[in-house]
Amino acid sequence: MKNLHFNRRRFIKNSSKVAASITLLSAFPQSSTAAKNNASRIKFSVININHSHIYGMVEAVTRGGGELVSFYAKEPELVQAFSKKYPQAKLAGNQNEILEDKTIQLILSSGIPVERAPLGIEVMKHGKDYLVDKPGITSLEQLAEVRRVQKDTKQIYAIMYSERLENKATVKAGELIKAGAIGNVIQTIGMGPHRINIQSRPAWFFDKKYFGGIITDIGSHQFDQFLFFTGSAKADIVCSQVGNVHYPQYPGFEDFGDVTVRGDKGTGYIRVDWFTPDGLKSWGDGRLTILGTDGYIELRKNIDIAGREGGNHLFLVNQKETIYMDCNKEALPFGEQFVKDIINRTETAITQEHCFLATELALKAQKNAQKLELKK
């Protein structure tokens, strides 16, 4: 298949405001400022850059102490854009050149989704750790093989669930919940709307054999958050449905999906779609509501349509008051934690089982989803 250009999305520039209710804020722990570590602690490379998420992944690992030394991609236009952003990175002649380099400890990838797991298997077999864009695995068969190789090699196979790991409001919500701000979590409701931008999409974007389906793809973020915030270690899919309700010209595409999931410590509802209207000043009004026994938290990750500028908005309601927190100044600890995990062979950034379970739930929900057909 001919790989077409995937236009880079602009990252939203968030402006900061003073958080409300200083009294309540002081009762909860504030995000510690990640230590600025300019010295290289690991060397890493990139293989395949078919989605612009790779730029955020590189930035996260670099913040944590990683040094980008090389990269490889087949598409000249993607190579040109990446080289312009990271001129220090050497363009390899092929991916094996990187895989055989003994000085490299970590490989990052945002290739075409169906190709991500096979690459990750090769990465682990070459004695390197792997950080891949979501969806990091597109079928249950791929998942079984990834699990087998990961168990045999003991290498890290991490999926970048950026809606939690690289979103400052979501990181803050995790701290508040750990401190007991809303009691025990009962349910999460995750909304993942996206703008379709048809003209800028490559051909593979419209055929789910390449991306696994809408739940497998963008729904994977919500499963990660459901497991993290409820603390569930086991979960089952109650029901799921997917549909292509608006784009008949792309019969292999899905534009809507939703799921109900039940875990051993909480429940969840997930809705994902490709219907963000052009009138919104963001690619998607991503929201997460976390219901607890003593209150709830709502996150407006990318935009507050009520009028506040930028993203990273957190609203907390407890038994005494309702407060708003601007989370733009919060630290993002993932990069530093992940680099330390590579060095120390630990699991502080994200555990391997959590990573695989979030993927497994998305894959099962996708595979067993009822087909939604709406009459016009």
User: 3-state SS string over 38-62?
Assistant: CCCCEEEEEECCCCCHHHHHHHHHH
- Cα–Cα distance measured from residue 325 to residue 19, given in angstroms and rounded to the nearest whole number: 5
Helices (H) and strands (E) in the chain, counts: 13, 15
Position 376 scores a pLDDT of 75
Q: Which residue has the tokens 């929201």?
A: 287
Q: How high is the pLDDT of residue 17?
A: 31
**pLDDT band, very low/low/confident/very high, at 39 (cuts 50, 70, 90):** low
Domain ranges in the chain are: 35-161, 164-332+364-371
Q: How far apart are CA 38 and CA 336, in angstroms?
A: 11
Q: Shortest CA distance to 283 belongs to which of 69, 44, 8, 48?
A: 8
Mean of pLDDT values over 243-263: 97
The predicted pLDDT at position 40 comes to 65
Round to whole Å and give the CA distance between 252 and 299: 32
Place of tokens 């025990």: 184
Using pLDDT thresholds of 50, 70 and 90, give the confidence band for residue 109: very high
Q: 32 vs 18, which has greater pLDDT? A: 32
Q: How confident is the model at residue 375 (pLDDT cuts 50, 70, 90)?
A: confident
Question: Residue 29 phi/psi, 5° resolution?
Answer: -70, 140
Give the whole-number percent of the chain exceeding pLDDT 90.
Answer: 88
Please state which CATH class domain 35-161 belongs to.
alpha beta
Reply yes or no on whether the pLDDT at 241 is more than 70. Answer: yes
**Topology of the domain comprising 164-332+364-371:** Dihydrodipicolinate Reductase; domain 2 (3.30.360)
Lowest-pLDDT range, 5-9, 90-94, 355-359?
5-9
Phi, psi of 375 (to 5 degrees): -80, 135
pLDDT for residue 33? 37
